[in-house]
């Protein structure tokens, strides 16, 4: 409960103004003063600093509303600090460069199985990809790395499907590096200003994970380990999972259990039977999730998005049968449209969150940017 | 982002001071001014109001620290507004009167099966119990009712084990009535100032529910339906549940599936086998919950607390086998010590939360109290 110092106040107000500009593109300094309750002189001084630092752009004159002079429109600068996101998958490395408005400016995909490879080898590929994307002539404010496993701090504690454990994701790239779980990153990519604020993103890859978003924020749990949907047990006598236990959802609905889209489209009976089973087991597990969390909006990602036409039926039937609140709040299931890029996109955005949260500190250390 | 009005400021500061007094019994007005950053005159005026209204008591002189006169110690008044909590169980109505410090001052238990009875009949019993507890010569600031089902607003939408649906829990008792899910209420009863802030309370009654507490607050979901642990499917080919689906946890670990404590203590083989099964299925479902939420502290309540010595073994074995983060954060399981009273106690406390949140409004309408 100590009083805020001058520097704290300045940092807080800079972040407040950057958020207001982001949410209200085209607003003027006078409009910002009215929105935030800050004095006009304070707004002008801080906005000038954000413009000089390249975070905010002046977009031209705006019409006067009421008394006062014509103002200058402001918007988030599209040439401000970009984020680089890299997703290390079991069988690919996917990366993208994202501008401050969230748009993808460049992408890289390196296919190839990472299971047999040492972490250092794969991290060397990641570093090369980051340097390549960072060399596009725009400032880079942060790098994010999404990994298919449990993350604490910058360390990948365990990724059974890569057979990696306790890998420090330290990249020598000169800007802050954010490490996130792959499903959490993919969930962040689904957040849109006018979209739902409460949903569960199911990441159907070799492993199955979930990113749980409540009121626009990731639900990460006490240590950041939340979302391990793939290890919900759907049948205690089921097949052995990579984690050592029996009957985990992943053994029914992970990539290894799923047919190709082509086999499904051709009506191959074995493919259709596998999809029926995967959809039913997904529905069983997701009914449990919705019953526990009361977040009844589900977005299928990864392989589950590609195979959604075959999964929807059995999945929705289980939800209708098992979700206790379905009568008052019917669950909805949709397929993500982001494709393989989701995790890279989400972690690229997360990698520049520190700038949005504290633009003043970023600008004081701006020389650090790649 | 509008500026706060004078009344808002007064309400906010009154709540701030009441919280500070609650957390620091024995503090003085000068101490409060130092803690909150409010002016001494403001503190004195607001505290005088809280004392006059019976929310805060003066406890006598406190030693001077540093310069200044001797102050008067302040504490939450034990004779301030009490809460009445009533839990409507499948086979009991349990109620208690709770003082502002959280202590139980009186209790009532009415045993008897509520399954065959009309809601109006049971609510008439609830009203009589509330009036009886409210007639103890202390002010009552709120009444809470805990029910074993989905709640929205003041309506019990569905309680399959009572065979009730869409029951408006409107009691004519003259004070605000709070309606809560039974497991959520029991979870709130476990919150202690120096206890854990992240845990899952499992309420093992005829139905099995969970109250999920994260950072000291209930996780209720989008519509308040969260925590329906009993309907996690632990075996899709399992027995039919009251909800209509197959293999819900409740069919293995609800009261109907459990032996008496005496049969277990006597080593009855059937009883021990049922407990082994219940503990294993509980462990399977709770592993899923911990994997999803990363809240690795579990408190067993109700029948599960009474039978905990027999459930702990198989339950902990499943957690050790199935929780992905167990190596870095081993789950803990303990038994609640609150007994059958937990839900009534929790909802009694919740019933007076509105006073803690806004004491100024309560005092302006204090004539309303029972």
Q: Does A220 touch chain B (CB under 8 A)?
A: yes
Are residue A150 and residue A273 in the same domain, yes or no? no
Given a cut of 50, is residue A2 above it in pLDDT?
no
User: Chain-wide mean pLDDT for chain B?
Assistant: 93
Contact yes or no for A203/A343 (Cβ under 8 A): yes
Q: How many helices (H) and strands (E) does chain A have?
A: 13, 15
**3-state secondary structure (DSSP) of residue A328:** coil
CB contact under 8 A, B292 and A236: no
Are residue A121 and residue A150 in the same domain, yes or no? yes
- pLDDT tier for residue B251 given thresholds of 50, 70 and 90: very high
- Find all residues with CB under 8 Å of A159, minimum gap 6, and list them: A147, A148, A149, A150, A165, A167
**Interface mutation target, options A27, A222, A241, A280, chain B, most CBs of B under 10 Å:** A222
Distance from CA of B233 to the nearest CA of A (A): 7
Q: Which of residues 147-166 of A touch B (CB under 8 A)?
A: 150, 152, 157-158
Are residue A331 and residue A234 in the same domain, yes or no? yes
Given a cut of 70, is residue A364 above it in pLDDT?
yes
- Find all residues with CB under 8 Å of B215, minimum gap 6, and list them: B197, B198
Given a cut of 90, is residue B348 above it in pLDDT?
yes
Residue A1 located in a structural domain: no
Q: How many helices (H) and strands (E) does chain B have?
A: 13, 15
Are residue A233 and residue A172 in the same domain, yes or no? no
Six-digit token pair at B14? 């009154």
CB contact under 8 A, A294 and B225: yes
Distance from CA of A110 to the nearest CA of B (A): 29
- In percent, how much of chain A has pLDDT > 90? 88
Q: Which of B323, B172, B76, B342 is nearest to A232 (CA)?
A: B323
Q: Which of A102, A106, A58, A269 is nearest to A190 (CA)?
A: A102
Of A235, A245, A324, the CB nearest to B231: A324
CB contact under 8 A, B222 and A198: yes
Range of the domain at B32: 6-76
Residue A253 located in a structural domain: yes
Query: B86 forms bridges with which residues in the sheet?
Result: B95, B145
Q: Which of B297, B318, B116, B145 is nearest to B232 (CA)?
A: B318
Residue B309 located in a structural domain: yes
Residue B1 located in a structural domain: no
Of B224, B231, B295, the CB nearest to A291: B231
What strand order describes the sheet that includes B208-214? Answer: B217-218, B208-214, B199-204, B297-302, B332-335
Q: Which of B281, B166, B266 is nearest to A288 (CA)?
A: B281
Cβ count within 10 A of residue B30: 21
Q: At what angle do helices B40-52 and B6-23 cross, to 10 degrees?
A: 80
Contact yes or no for B169/B141 (Cβ under 8 A): no
What does the pLDDT look like over A306-356, one tens digit per residue?
A: 999 999 999 999 999 999 999 999 999 999 999 999 999 999 999 999 999
Residue A11 located in a structural domain: yes
- pLDDT tier for residue A156 given thresholds of 50, 70 and 90: very high
Residue-level pLDDT at B259: 97
Six-digit token pair at A85? 């996101």
Tell which of B36, B55, B76 closes a domain. Answer: B76
- In percent, how much of chain B has pLDDT > 90? 88
Q: Does B6 touch chain A (CB under 8 A)?
A: no
CB contact under 8 A, B231 and A36: no
Are residue A240 and residue A319 in the same domain, yes or no? yes
Distance from CA of A292 to the nearest CA of B (A): 4
Q: How far is CA B85 from CA A136, A272, B93, in A?
A: 64, 54, 10
- pLDDT tier for residue A65 given thresholds of 50, 70 and 90: low
CATH number at residue B57: 1.10.10.10
Determine the residue of chain B that is closest to A326 in CA distance.
B225
CB contact under 8 A, A243 and B2: no
Residue A207 located in a structural domain: yes
Are residue A351 and residue A287 in the same domain, yes or no? no
User: In terms of DSSP bridges, do strands B150-152 and B56-62 run parallel, antiparallel, or are they unpaired?
Assistant: unpaired
CB contact under 8 A, A152 and B328: yes
Tell which of A76, A99, A130 closes a domain. Answer: A76
Are residue A201 and residue A327 in the same domain, yes or no? yes
Given a cut of 90, is residue B39 above it in pLDDT?
yes
Residue-level pLDDT at B1: 37
Are residue A233 and residue A101 in the same domain, yes or no? no
- Residue for token digits 């994307």? A133
d(CA A18, CA A30): 14
Q: At what angle do helices B6-23 and B29-36 cross, to 10 degrees?
A: 110
Given a cut of 80, is residue B67 above it in pLDDT?
no
Are residue B145 and residue B264 in the same domain, yes or no? no
User: Chain-wide mean pLDDT for chain A?
Assistant: 93
Contact yes or no for A56/A26 (Cβ under 8 A): no
Work out how many domains chain A is built from and give that number.
Answer: 3
Determine the residue of chain A that is closest to B219 in CA distance.
A293
Are residue B199 and residue B331 in the same domain, yes or no? yes
Residue A165 located in a structural domain: yes
What does the pLDDT look like over A14-36, one tens digit per residue?
A: 999 999 999 999 999 999 999 99
How many A/B residue pairs have CB atoms within 8 Å?
148
Given a cut of 60, is residue B3 above it in pLDDT?
no
Are residue B56 and residue B182 in the same domain, yes or no? no
Residue A43 located in a structural domain: yes
Residue-level pLDDT at B337: 97
Given a cut of 90, is residue A297 above it in pLDDT?
yes
What does the pLDDT look like over A198-225, one tens digit per residue?
A: 999 999 999 999 999 999 999 999 999 9
Q: Which of B331, B336, B350 is nearest to B184 (CA)?
A: B350
Given a cut of 70, is residue A296 above it in pLDDT?
yes
Are residue A259 and residue A148 in the same domain, yes or no? no
Contact yes or no for A232/B229 (Cβ under 8 A): no
Of A158, A235, A294, the CB nearest to B226: A294
- Cα end-to-end span (Å), chain B: 38
Distance from CA of B187 to the nearest CA of A (A): 14
Q: At what angle do helices A182-189 and A342-351 cross, to 10 degrees?
A: 80
CATH number at residue A161: 3.30.420.40
- Where do the H-state alpha helices sit in chain A? 6-23, 29-36, 40-52, 119-134, 182-189, 250-253, 261-265, 269-293, 303-306, 308-322, 342-351, 353-357, 359-364
- Give mean pLDDT, residues A282-306: 98
Distance from CA of B132 to the nearest CA of A (A): 35
- Find all residues with CB under 8 Å of A284, minimum gap 6, and list them: A234, A318, A322, B233, B236
- Where do the H-state alpha helices sit in A190-340? 250-253, 261-265, 269-293, 303-306, 308-322
Q: Is the dihedral of CA B245, B250, B256, B258 positive or negative?
A: positive
Distance from CA of A131 to the nearest CA of B (A): 33
């Amino acid at each position: 409960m100590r009083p805020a110092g001058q520097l704290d106040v300045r940092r807080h107000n800079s972040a407040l103004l950057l958020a207001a500009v982001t949410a209200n593109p085209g607003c003027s300094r006078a409009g910002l003063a009215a929105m935030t309750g800050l004095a006009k002189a304070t707004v002008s001084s801080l906005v000038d600093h954000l413009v000089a630092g390249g975070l905010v752009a002046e977009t031209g004159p705006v019409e006067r509303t009421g008394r006062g002079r014509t103002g200058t429109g402001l918007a988030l600068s599209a040439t401000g600090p970009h984020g680089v996101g890299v997703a290390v998958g079991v069988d690919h490395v996917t990366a993208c460069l994202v501008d401050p408005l969230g748009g993808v400016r460049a992408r890289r995909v390196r296919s190839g199985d990472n299971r047999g490879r040492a972490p250092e080898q794969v991290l060397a590929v990641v570093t090369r990809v980051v340097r390549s994307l960072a060399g596009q002539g725009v400032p880079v404010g942060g790098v994010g790395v999404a990994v298919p496993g449990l993350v604490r701090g910058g360390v990948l504690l365990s990724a059974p499907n890569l057979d990696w454990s306790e890998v420090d994701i330290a990249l020598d790239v000169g800007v802050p590096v954010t490490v996130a779980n792959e499903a959490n990153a993919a969930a962040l990519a689904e957040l849109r200003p006018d979209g739902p604020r409460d949903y569960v993103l199911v990441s159907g890859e070799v492993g199955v994970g979930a990113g749980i978003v409540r009121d626009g924020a990731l639900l990460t749990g006490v240590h950041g380990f939340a979302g391990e949907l793939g290890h919900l047990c759907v049948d205690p006598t089921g097949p052995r999972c990579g984690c050592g236990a029996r009957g985990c959802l992943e053994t029914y609905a992970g990539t290894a259990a799923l047919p190709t889209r082509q086999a499904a489209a051709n009506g191959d009976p074995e493919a259709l039977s596998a999809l029926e089973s995967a959809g039913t087991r997904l529905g069983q597990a997701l009914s449990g999730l919705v019953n526990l969390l009361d977040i009844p909006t589900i977005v299928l990602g990864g392989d589950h998005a590609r195979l959604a036409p075959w999964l929807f039926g059995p999945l929705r039937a289980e939800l209708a049968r098992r979700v206790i609140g379905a009568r008052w709040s019917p669950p909805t299931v949709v397929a993500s449209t982001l494709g393989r890029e989701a995790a890279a996109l989400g972690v690229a955005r997360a990698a520049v969150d520190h700038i949005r949260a504290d633009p003043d500190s970023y600008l004081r250390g701006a020389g650090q940017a790649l």
